[in-house]
């Protein structure tokens, strides 16, 4: 309590101007919150959202398989909860990868094209984040390689992907995959995931490369002097430390992927934002524009805040462990 009082006194009421500004902002927040709560409880019409909640949350996912979504949430919840234990905090990315693979296997049987709404946005973010990591690691080591050809190819790939918009890459992959597989049936979700992964891997590669550069060069040289192969040095000495350094950035990148998932509407997928627009297209709910967008804003804000909070906790723990 004393620390909280000192923080408030020092940061909000340190001088006359700060005190006036803090009182004004707090009064404005209270006024806006009061108006919003009054509107939400008395004037807003939430019936359209309640009646269309299935479309918003799971899209066209079969009703008889809804139990799979609860199992998926349970798996991800257990994975996140396990990170509270000290033993699991050392391997958060491994836990995330295992939990994500399990969640995908649980949801896959009805077919990827049946995914929609918030379920599609969440699982697309998970799948792209999982698939981007190994590709990004390979690109990072390739760009740091002493082989000029390999380094030039990886650097060119990264720079090209970072110079074009995501929507162009996703649409290009969606069009070209059937050309290479004319006799195969590849769902739009898989094609969109491939395009998104190809794009996002370039950013992951830069995160990992910064982590590799942060590892003291002397550690790799000492490992080589002990007779370790270059592969062993890279995978067992350099990579674990590099991933540890960039864990907060990788977790924050998941939020960028989740927010960017709205662009899959261009290939006909019904993500969370598109589902809200479909509700507004219904004449019975066309007047609930404010309610629909307020609801979607709240959901995006809660998920984004949770991911950001996790990234900041990882960063704070990393700073404490390196002091």
Residue 198 has pLDDT above 90, yes or no: yes
Higher pLDDT among residues 14 and 298, named by residue: 298
In this structure, the chain runs to a length of 323
Residue listed under structure tokens 């060119």: 156
* Angle, helices 247-260/289-321, rounded to nearest 10 degrees: 170
**So what's the pLDDT on residue 254?**
86
Distance of alpha carbon 235 from alpha carbon 232, whole angstroms: 5
Residue 191 has a CB neighbour count (10 Å cut-off) of: 23
DSSP state of 43: I
Q: Which of 270, 252, 253, 244 is nearest to 311 (CA)?
A: 252
Q: Which fold has domain 50-321?
A: MetI-like fold (1.10.3720)
Residue 91 has pLDDT above 70, yes or no: no
**So what's the pLDDT on residue 139?**
93
* pLDDT band, residue 93 (cuts 50/70/90): low
Q: Which of 298, 311, 257 is nearest to 127 (CA)?
A: 257
Give buried/exposed letters for 98-109 (b at 16+ CB in 10 A, else e).
ebbebbbebbee
């Amino acid at each position: 309590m004393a620390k909280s009082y000192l923080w408030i006194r020092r940061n909000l009421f340190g001088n006359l101007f700060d005190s006036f500004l803090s009182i004004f902002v707090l009064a404005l927040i209270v006024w806006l919150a009061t108006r919003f709560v009054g509107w939400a409880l008395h004037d807003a019409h939430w019936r359209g959202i309640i009646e269309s909640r299935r479309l918003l949350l799971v899209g066209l996912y079969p009703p008889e398989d809804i139990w799979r979504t609860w199992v998926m949430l349970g798996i991800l919840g257990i994975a996140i909860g396990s990170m509270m234990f000290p033993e699991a905090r050392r391997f958060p990315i491994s836990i995330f990868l295992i939990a994500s693979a399990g969640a995908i296997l649980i949801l896959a049987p009805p077919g990827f094209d049946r995914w929609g709404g918030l379920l599609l946005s969440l699982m697309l973010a998970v799948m792209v984040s999982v698939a981007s990591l190994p590709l990004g690691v390979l690109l990072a080591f390739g760009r740091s390689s002493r082989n000029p050809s390999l380094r030039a190819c990886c650097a060119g790939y990264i720079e090209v992907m970072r110079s074009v918009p995501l929507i162009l890459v996703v649409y290009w992959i969606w069009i070209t995959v059937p050309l290479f597989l004319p006799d195969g049936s590849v769902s739009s979700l898989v094609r969109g995931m491939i395009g998104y992964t190809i794009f996002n891997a370039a950013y992951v590669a830069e995160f990992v490369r910064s982590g590799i550069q942060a590892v003291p060069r002397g550690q790799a040289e000492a490992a080589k002097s002990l007779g370790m192969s270059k592969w062993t040095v890279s995978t067992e000495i350099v990579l674990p430390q590099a991933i540890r350094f960039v864990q907060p950035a990788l977790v924050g990148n998941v939020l960028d992927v989740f927010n960017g998932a709205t662009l899959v509407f261009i290939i006909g997928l019904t993500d969370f934002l598109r589902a809200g627009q479909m509700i507004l297209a219904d004449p019975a709910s066309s007047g609930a524009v404010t309610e629909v967008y307020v609801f979607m804003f709240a959901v995006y804000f809660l998920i984004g805040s949770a991911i950001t909070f996790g990234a900041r906790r990882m960063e704070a723990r990393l700073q404490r462990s390196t002091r």
